[in-house]
Structure 1
Amino acid sequence: MQTLQYLRPTLYATCFFSMHVAVAMLLPAFVDLADGSPDWMVFVGVSVAVFVVSLLGILSLRQPLPRFSPRFGFLVTTVLWLSTCFVGALPFYFSALNLSFAQSVFEAVSGLTTTGSTVIAGLDNVPRGILLWRALLQFFGGIGIVAIGLFLFPFLRIGGMQLFRAESSDRSDKALPRVVQLTTALVVIYVGLNVLCTLVYAALGMTFFDAVTHAMATVSTGGFSTHDASFGFFPSPAIHWAAIVFMILGGLPFVLFVDLCVNGKLTLFNDIQVRVFVAAIVAASIALAIWLTATHDMAFHDALTHAAFNVTSIITTTGFASTDYALWGPFAVALFLILTFIGGCSGSTTGGIKIYRFIIVFAALNRSLHRLVYPNAVVPLRYGDRRVDADVFESVMTFLIAFFALLAIITVLLSLTSGLDLVTSLTGALTALCNVGPGLGDIIGPAGNFATLDDAAVWVLSAAMLLGRLEIMTILVLLSPIYWRS
């Protein structure tokens, strides 16, 4: 079969990337060694084993790569993310945390997909090597999803991302002459944002270790913290506002940063999705701050800080929390449930449905209403000032149908496998598919975690996080018999 010819180069690419992941494990090993934690031997042992196996795989599988095609793209993307999740889970499994294999995979998947859900309780007492490894997984996952969101998903016509293919190419060509240089620029910008965020956090009072790990979790919009209280551990409003800024930066299209840094052109707000994204954060934050001031006897500036932080965290699918916002009342709970769906911009580190899809859907709704009044009118579907092709609209609608169908299926599976209540099952499925982190309810809410869920629920949620991170269709197409036909 035609697809089978791609298995060998896919495994080669997997081994190549796993070898680099193995080298990265030495960083937390050094930290644990310096701290006197015996887990340093776990990191070194896993690193050596994965490196040797990967090197042998590279030597035995080396051959000229095939011409890139959608079939190859779907396969290599899915296998690469799956294998990296399993490799990233090994330090958790062999550490002193006593996690089951399902829980270890869940933690690694949550890190690499920048979801931020965790099965580890008592983070304040966990060895720093493990905490650093969690942050590194989110760092790698953040830059990984930016890369495939800018270069691969538009090519594979995933979820309407082809809308940005010509735009991204045009802007990239204007900014830098070659794709390799564009990739280099994106990596430099991503690393630069992490360094800048680290310096800001440290200057505002975080320890250097907390600053490094939280910066990697902020720019990647991942949400892993080194403390059970998340950002509630840091009482400084200045730290919260700094996090708001960097979470927003992580939710913006990274290709537009290239225009700014290379050409000196501030084109961010020329993109309608950026304007809607920022407007949604501002509007929701102000509305929630007013609600808190009126109902919780809270000073407006304190209310605005907590509201803006948690609204930004949920919309950007970061998942940090400054307090248990589930206690803010029904309006706040309903608002956060809605915000969980949204996500950031295309080509960012965020998850969720994404702003541009909502813009296209509402444009289609407006066009339908116009046609009801003027049946013979020719009303093109537009995204900002650009016309939306029929195949883009079809891709967006296909994604939304698949999203809500999977949301229903995963909700039912969670209620069946673990006997979870409706709120926990629904918000657990939603936060996994949207890569947000916390759900709602007493178990997985912002003040809880996923540690008490059984292995069956953990496996379901791990699959949901991967589906959401890879825009659903990337994985679903591999389950279709037509994909494997010649």
Structure 2
Amino acid sequence: MLRFIRPVIYVCGFLVLILAGMMLAVGVFAWSRRDPETQVFLICAAIAAVSGAVMVLSCRRAQFNLIARQLYLLTSLSWVIMSLVGALPLIFSHSNLSLTDALFEAVSGITTTGSTVLSGLEHRPASLLLWRSLLQWLGGLGVIGMAVSILPFLRVGGMRLFHTESSDWSDKSVPRLQSLARLLLGTYFGISVACILSYWAAGMSLFDAINHAMTTVSTGGYATDDRSMGRFSHGILWIASLFMLLGALPFTMIITFLRRPAMDTLKNQQAIGLVFIIGTVSLMLTGVLIYQHQYEPFEALTHATFNLVSVITTTGYASTDYLGWGAFSVALFFLVMFIGGCSGSTSGGMKVFRFQLSYLFLRTQIRKLVHPSGVFITQYNGRRVQDEIIQSAVAFSFLFFLALAVITLLLALLGLDLLTSVSASATALTNVGPGVGEIIGPAGNFATLPAAAKWLLCFAMLLGRLELLTLMVLFTPIFWRG
């Protein structure tokens, strides 16, 4: 067993060292501003650095290759360890957060969910706000790397569909993987810088621009004020909508377009489907708001588009309390949170491609009912979809809704009302952030939930972020028997 787990601990050690470096950077930032949390971040950076160094040095080997079982364990364990280490500054801060609340905030950050137990954000130390944003930015990068490089190889939830040349593990070519990693990091960093400059030019302070850019591109949704994005101009809301959408698009498609700017590189069924859904539903929601005399036409279009993009990309920002838009709008927001963005993006949710595959599968079944002897080939992005991909997508969908039902029942058992139980479990599994209802809606937070409910939602956030099957396989006896 030790031989099996050593390479996993070795890699996780480097992740802890990365977090230590980030804590040190925030500590220096805090020192420059005479922030009260300076000592906290420096001490936590030292703890993380020592822990990471011990993990790396004790498990170092000359060379090793990770097999599928080790990759499952690495994928799950790395997110758990990053959540635990990321919670350290929150635990020891002067905000007097309990262990449960600190861990909830860290898990929500690293999984780019955006649910929070904090209030009065505008009065919190700048270092803590920056740390929350950094956790989401790092989490968004980790999501892309996992979705592009690891999940297709593990054949999780239909991700095998994206086992393309840009994420090909078949030859386990280290140089190619390193090149892909550099391209992903460069693209992610470049979009983040562009977002910072856009926000700053539109009127945000530099500090707000940096924080909101990191949580926009990562589709995380942490803000620096309890009003979320509601205190900014319409121009900033449109900029945010654009960069949230970019964060929800396949990064391999963006990389391909940047290297070869041509319209045919944008012919991605996922991306086209996401843009079509956003455009159609935004116009429909705008019409409803105008009909209800909620806003003037342009203001209605701005708020409808921004909040819809925020929910469907699982960012979780809010420009206003959209629960006041009526039952139809609330139901619409609740339903679209399940969709999510594209595979290989920073967003959560069930992903657009699974809904598209479900439609194609249903269409094929209907054709077979009409023509029992017919032979029908299902194609996606111009390629034939293998039966194993359909089976994996169906298994993922079944497990998703089973987990949704179980978590909802457990939350209800802990004393939460039905609406809060359903929306909390849904927003955790889809990594959206705010739920529905007065307690955890866009105008509330998760602070008043029982401690047991917060621990359960931490598990649900990790479960959703890891595409369910990656984490659930660790609870099967056959995994540990090999």
TM-score by length of 2: 0.97
CA distance in 1, matches of 2:62, 2:399: 36
Structure-1 residue corresponding to 2:450: 454
Describe the SS at the equivalent of 2:87. Answer: helix
Which region of structure 1 is more displaced relative to structure 2, 46-55 or 405-414? 46-55
How far off is 1:296 after superposition? 2.7
Structure-2 residue corresponding to 1:91: 89
Structure-2 residue corresponding to 1:463: 459
Q: What letter corresponds to residue 295 of structure 2 in structure 1?
A: M
CA distance in 1, matches of 2:259, 2:131: 32
Which region of structure 1 is more displaced relative to structure 2, 392-401 or 289-298? 289-298
Structure-1 residue corresponding to 2:281: 284
How far off is 1:371 after superposition? 1.2
CA distance in 2, matches of 1:268, 1:225: 34
CA distance in 1, matches of 2:117, 2:57: 37
Q: Does 1:365 align with 2:362?
A: yes
Conserved in 1, the CA contact under 8 Å of 2:113 and 2:428?
yes
How far off is 1:298 after superposition? 1.7
Structure-2 residue corresponding to 1:67: 65
Structure-1 residue corresponding to 2:196: 198
Alignment of 1:413-452 (within 5 A): 413-417=410-414, 419-452=415-448
Structure-1 residue corresponding to 2:477: 481
Change (3 A) 1:291 1:37: same
Structure-2 residue corresponding to 1:379: 376
Structure-1 residue corresponding to 2:131: 133
| Count of aligned residue pairs for this structure pair | 480
Q: Does 1:310 align with 2:307?
A: yes
Conserved in 2, the CA contact under 8 Å of 1:256 and 1:267?
no
Percent identity reads 46
Describe the SS at the equivalent of 2:436. Answer: coil
Equivalent of 1:33 in 25, 31, 34: 31
Structure-1 residue corresponding to 2:292: 295
Describe the SS at the equivalent of 2:338. Answer: helix
Conserved in 2, the CA contact under 8 Å of 1:259 and 1:267?
no
How far off is 1:256 after superposition? 1.1
Change (3 A) 1:384 1:53: closer
How far off is 1:184 after superposition? 0.5
Alignment of 1:263-412 (within 5 A): 263-412=260-409
How far off is 1:138 after superposition? 0.5
Change (3 A) 1:249 1:262: same
Over the aligned positions, Cα root-mean-square deviation in angstroms equals 1.7
CA distance in 1, matches of 2:329, 2:260: 42
How far off is 1:226 after superposition? 0.4
CA distance in 2, matches of 1:50, 1:384: 44
Which region of structure 1 is more displaced relative to structure 2, 21-30 or 224-233? 21-30
TM-score by length of 1: 0.96
Conserved in 2, the CA contact under 8 Å of 1:342 and 1:354?
yes
Conserved in 2, the CA contact under 8 Å of 1:247 and 1:316?
yes
Conserved in 2, the CA contact under 8 Å of 1:106 and 1:458?
yes
Change (3 A) 1:31 1:284: same
Q: Does 1:217 align with 2:215?
A: yes
Q: What letter corresponds to residue 471 of structure 1 in structure 2?
A: E
CA distance in 1, matches of 2:62, 2:467: 29
How far off is 1:268 after superposition? 4.7
Change (3 A) 1:50 1:195: same
Q: Deviations over 1:112-169 (max 9, x none)?
A: 1100110111111110000000000011001111011001000000100011103534
How far off is 1:266 after superposition? 4.0
CA distance in 2, matches of 1:273, 1:308: 19
CA distance in 1, matches of 2:150, 2:264: 23
How far off is 1:57 after superposition? 2.5
How far off is 1:180 after superposition? 1.3
Conserved in 2, the CA contact under 8 Å of 1:259 and 1:265?
no
CA distance in 1, matches of 2:377, 2:460: 35
Change (3 A) 1:359 1:450: same
Q: Deviations over 1:336-362 (max 9, x none)?
A: 011110000110001000000000001
How far off is 1:98 after superposition? 1.1
How far off is 1:312 after superposition? 0.3
Conserved in 1, the CA contact under 8 Å of 2:148 and 2:167?
no
How far off is 1:49 after superposition? 1.3
How far off is 1:64 after superposition? 3.4
How far off is 1:4 after superposition? 5.0
Conserved in 2, the CA contact under 8 Å of 1:268 and 1:274?
no
Structure-2 residue corresponding to 1:259: 256
CA distance in 2, matches of 1:140, 1:328: 34
CA distance in 2, matches of 1:328, 1:185: 42
CA distance in 2, matches of 1:260, 1:381: 26
Change (3 A) 1:98 1:169: closer
Describe the SS at the equivalent of 1:48. Answer: helix
Structure-2 residue corresponding to 1:158: 156
Which region of structure 1 is more displaced relative to structure 2, 313-322 or 178-187? 178-187
Alignment of 1:85-124 (within 5 A): 85-124=83-122
Q: What letter corresponds to residue 140 of structure 2 in structure 1?
A: G
How far off is 1:182 after superposition? 1.9
CA distance in 2, matches of 1:80, 1:297: 46
Q: What letter corresponds to residue 393 of structure 1 in structure 2?
A: I
How far off is 1:364 after superposition? 0.7
Describe the SS at the equivalent of 1:440. Answer: coil
Describe the SS at the equivalent of 1:342. Answer: coil
Structure 2: give runs of 5+ residues left out of the alignment: none
Change (3 A) 1:454 1:160: same
Conserved in 2, the CA contact under 8 Å of 1:272 and 1:384?
yes
Q: What letter corresponds to residue 282 of structure 2 in structure 1?
A: S
Conserved in 2, the CA contact under 8 Å of 1:114 and 1:223?
yes
Conserved in 2, the CA contact under 8 Å of 1:371 and 1:377?
yes
CA distance in 2, matches of 1:254, 1:267: 16
Q: Deviations over 1:187-216 (max 9, x none)?
A: 111001110100000000100000000000
How far off is 1:377 after superposition? 1.1
CA distance in 2, matches of 1:250, 1:40: 32
Conserved in 1, the CA contact under 8 Å of 2:253 and 2:266?
no
Structure-2 residue corresponding to 1:228: 226
How far off is 1:177 after superposition? 7.9
Structure-2 residue corresponding to 1:48: 46
